[in-house]
Structures are given as C-alpha cells and as structure tokens.
A = this chain, B = another copy of it.
Amino acid sequence: MALGTDYAQQDCSLARALEVVGERWSLLIVRDAFYGVRRFNDFLVHLDIPRAVLTARLRALVEAGVLRKEPYQDGPVRYEYLLTEAGLELWLPVHALARWGERHAAEHASHTVFTHDACGNRISPVGICVPCGVAVAPAHVVMRPAPGDRRSPRTDPVTLALARPRALLTPVLTEGQH
C-alpha cells in the first residue's frame, strides 16, 4: 500500500492482504461500511479518526478496490463510499476477527449479536447459520446489541442509529440530527 506499509520481502498472500487492510483504522472503516456507514462525516464521528487519516484511508481503500466512491448529491458533489465485490468478501475475515476479539480480548466491551434474517439464529464465527446450513451473505445478517449489554458510552448519531436492530449494509440515516 501507499504509506510505507509494504512488507516488500514477504512473498505471501497474507502480507498482500495486510498491505490493503492492515493499516491502523482500515479494518474499522471496512467494518463501518458493513454496518451501513457511507459518508465521510459519518465515518469521522463514529470512528473518532483524524480527518487527514480518514481521507488517506478512504483513498487507499478505493484504490485497492475495496470501496468505491459514488456521487449521491449534486449541489456540491458529495460522494459516498460503498463496498465493492472484493470489499464484501472481507466479511468473513472481519467477522472471524471480531468473534475472536469477543472471546479473547473484549471482556469489557459491548457485544453485538449477529443473526440470520431468515431464521433469527446466530451466525457462527465462520459466517454460516448452522440450523439453516447456509453461508449468510452480509445483507442477510441482522446486528443488534447483545441483550443486557451496557450501553456504549458514545452518543454520536451514528452510534445511536446502529444501536437498534438492523440488517448489515442498510444505509445509516443521519437525517434526523437537527
């Protein structure tokens, strides 16, 4: 990737993947994209990331073919960032890593439950719905805060919008911020 993260000597597909999504913030941006975050400002307030870094990461992810930039209004042209096909395939590693973090590194974090929209059962770490016996595509995954979970301390509109049950990839609405 651009910024000095090139693992030049590592002749390995994991190293190549990490050049694309291995930098600080990159995978969190991708996760947010799965959650339905699409706009610069929404990533900004939800991730608490420096603007310059967000600009750089979004550009890099677009260049790498993980995200694409789509105009969504004219006035001043504004773009939203959507996952490409390749980006959508990151669901498996992202989900597997998050499940690992939940088991081994996140005693004190809020947990999120991911279920299959068709049947309501939880998705396994490898992204399949065991009762249905199918791999569940992100669009058919419903996320909700784990029952009895303490509320996240964050109060930005994106966090609030994500706190109610919703399917992945549905756009976050930040209209009602008035």
Contact = CB atoms under 8 A, between A and B. Distances in A.
16 contacts: A9-B154, A12-B110, A12-B112, A13-B102, A14-B28, A14-B97, A14-B101, A16-B102, A17-B101, A18-B101, A22-B22, A23-B24, A86-B103, A93-B97, A93-B100, A96-B126
Given A9-B154, A11-B152, A96-B93, A28 B18 contact: yes
Interface size class of A (residues with CB under 8 A): 35 or more
Q: Which of A12, A15, A31, A47 has the most CB of B within 10 A?
A: A12
Contacts of A48: 9-10
B13 A28 contact: no
Interface string A138-170: 000000000000001110000000000000000
Interface in A84-143: 86, 89-90, 92-94, 96-106, 109-112, 125-128, 135
A46 B6 CA distance: 15
Given A97-B93, A103-B89, A104-B89, A109 B24 contact: no
A70 to B, nearest CB: 20
